[in-house]
Amino acid sequence: MKLIITGANGFIAKNLITELRNRGYNDLFEYTRKTSLADLDEYCKKADFVFHLAAVNRPKDQSEFMDGNYGFTSQLIELLKKHNNNCPILVSSSTQAALDNPYGISKKAGEDIIFKYGKETGAKVLVYRFPNVFGKWCRPNYNSAIATFCHNISRDLPIKVNASSVVMNLVYIDDVVEELINALNGNENNKGHLCEVPVVHTATLGEIVEKIKSFKISREERTIPNMSDQLTKKLYSTYLSYLPEKQFSYDLKMNEDHRGSFTEFIKTPDRGQVSINISKPGITKGNHWHHTKNEKFLVVSGEGVIRFRRIDSEDVIEYYVSGQQLQVLDIPTGFTHNIENIGNTDMVTVMWANEHFDPNRPDTYFLEV
C-alpha cells in the first residue's frame, strides 16, 4: 500500500511515520518543503491513500496562511485529479477552523475545498479538527504550550502563563496516530461531517503547569505520579521526552553504615514505596514487626535467610533466598522478622512497603526473632 504523508517533518507526521513503519507500512512517500513538484506529481499518480498533514501555523506574513493551508491543498488535489486518482485523503485541520482569525479562515478554506473535491470525484475525504496535540518530538517555544512548558521547566527556564483558568482540550499524539491508522483501515471515528480522535482530555492551563512542575519535583522527592489518571500518565511521558540529555540520571540518598546501605528508590501516592537494601556478609538486619505496614522482599543478588516469628509464638520460620532463584517473600503484619546475609558477597534486596515511611508513625517495633 502506497501512502503519501505531507508535512513529513512535522510533529504529527514524524510520529505517524514511525508507527506506520513499526506496523510494516514501508512504501511511504514523504513530502516536505524540499520535495520537488515532479516527485509530488509521481506520488499522486501512485498513491493508495493520502495523509495530508502539512500546515502553516507560524508564518512571517499572514498571507502565507492561505498560501499554505489552502493553496497547497488545492495543488495537491489538482495533481490527484490529473491522474484520476480517487484514493482516500485524510486532512489534519484544527479547531481554529471554527474561529474568525487568519489561521482559522485558511484552515476552513482548506476543509471546504477538500469536501468539494470529495463531492466532485467520489473520493473518500476525512477531515479532523485537532485540538491541542501534545507528546514527544513536538517543537518547544513554537506553537505548543505543553512542549514549551516541558522543555523550559525541565531546564529551569521561565514560562509565561497569561491566564491559568483557560480550559484546554488536549489529545495525545499516540491517540492521534492510532486514530489515523484506524482511518487508513476504514475504521475512522466519524462524527458526521467531521472526524474526531476518541480520547480528548480537558484541563486548565494552570492545572497543566502545576502537573509538569510536580514532575520535576518528583525526581528530587523520589516520587511517581498517579498513573491511573490518563492525562497525568501521558503528560509525564511527554515531560520525560524533553529532559536535557545530560540530566536523564539523578542521584539517590544512600543511608550507609558498617552493615551496608538502605536507599529509597520510588514513592507512589497510593501504592507504597520501593527501596534497595544492601547487606554486608554476616550481617543481620530487621528484628522488628509491624501492626499495619506490610512489605515484600526480593533478593536479587547474593544469598540469605529470612526468618519470621509470630510475636506470640516461639516457632521460627526460615526461608532461604538467593539471587540465583528470584522469589518474593511477603512480610505479614504481627510477625517479627529479619534478613541475614549468609553468603560471601554483598546481598542486594529489593524491598516494597505498602506505605511511605513516616518518622512520626513508623509502625516499627523492635523484637528479636
Are residue 219 and residue 284 in the same domain, yes or no?
no
Beta bridge partner(s), residue 203 = 168
Which among 31, 70, 103, 239 is annotated as catalytic?
103
Please give the pLDDT value at position 68.
61
Residue 321, domain CATH: 2.60.120.10
Predicted pLDDT of residue 60: 58
How confident is residue 58, by pLDDT bands cut at 50, 70 and 90?
low
pLDDT tens, position by position, 127-171: 999 999 999 999 998 889 999 999 999 999 999 998 999 999 999
Cα–Cα distance measured from residue 359 to residue 250, given in angstroms and rounded to the nearest whole number = 25
Cα gap 20→193, rounded to integer Å: 26
Neighbouring C-beta atoms of residue 153, cutoff 10 Å: 19
Q: Which pLDDT belongs to residue 179?
A: 97
Average confidence (pLDDT) over 235-249: 96
Whether residues 65 and 201 share a domain: the answer is: yes
| 242 catalytically annotated | no
Regarding whether 132 and 53 lie in a shared domain, the answer is yes
Mean pLDDT calculated for residue range 219-232: 93
In a domain, residue 269? The reply is yes
Specify which residues 201 forms β-bridges with.
170
Same domain, 214 and 281: no
Q: Pairing state of beta strands 28-31 and 3-6?
A: parallel
Structural domain count, the chain? 2
Which of 241, 264, 285 delimits the end of a domain? Answer: 241
Which range marks the domain in which residue 119 is found?
Answer: 3-241
Exposed/middle/buried for residue 290 (C-beta within 10 Å: 0-12, 13-18, 19+): buried
Render pLDDT for 62-82 as a digit per residue (tens, 0 to 9). Answer: 655 666 667 888 999 999 999
Is the model's pLDDT at 61 over the cut of 90? no
Predicted confidence band of residue 107 (pLDDT cuts 50, 70, 90) = confident
Where is the domain boundary, 206, 241, 276? 241
Q: What cell numbers appear for 351 in the block?
A: 524491598
With a pLDDT cut of 70, the percent of the chain lying above it is 96
pLDDT at residue 41 is higher than 70: yes
For residue 178, give the CATH number of its domain. Answer: 3.40.50.720
Q: Which three cell numbers stand for residue 59?
A: 508564518
59, pLDDT greater than 60: no
Residue 55: is its pLDDT beyond 80? no
